């Protein structure tokens, strides 16, 4: 995958995504901290809002309950092109 730009609207930050790692890992590397726990899509603590763009999951199906339509789990997904998120 080519580089993707991650724009975080409520933190006023842009990050270039170029590694084959989870969105959560990219946020941590760039000193954008969010709560997380299981890192496998079960607990849902890390959920954030996807404003624009697409992501794909590294696991077959995230199991966290109560995900809204625009919620994503950065612990187990990667951007699929440029995205805009809200933390």
- Structure confidence by residue, pLDDT tens digits, 52-71: 999 998 887 767 667 788 99
Determine the pLDDT at residue 70.
93
* Full set of structural domains in the chain with CATH: 4-86 (3.10.20.30)
Residue 41: its pLDDT value, please? 84
Q: Which of 85, 83, 47 is nearest to 65 (CA)?
A: 47
Query: What is the value of pTM for the model shown?
Result: 0.89
pLDDT digits (tens, 9 = 90+) for 12-53: 889 999 888 999 999 999 999 999 999 888 888 999 999 999
């Amino acid at each position: 995958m080519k580089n993707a730009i991650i724009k975080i609207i409520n933190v006023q930050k842009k990050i270039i995504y170029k590694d084959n790692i989870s969105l959560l890992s990219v946020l941590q590397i760039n000193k954008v901290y969010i709560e997380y726990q299981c890192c496998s899509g079960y607990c849902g603590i890390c959920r954030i809002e996807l404003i624009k763009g697409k992501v794909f999951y590294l696991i077959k199906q995230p199991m966290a309950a109560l995900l809204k339509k625009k919620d994503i789990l950065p612990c187990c997904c990667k951007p699929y092109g440029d995205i805009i998120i809200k933390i």
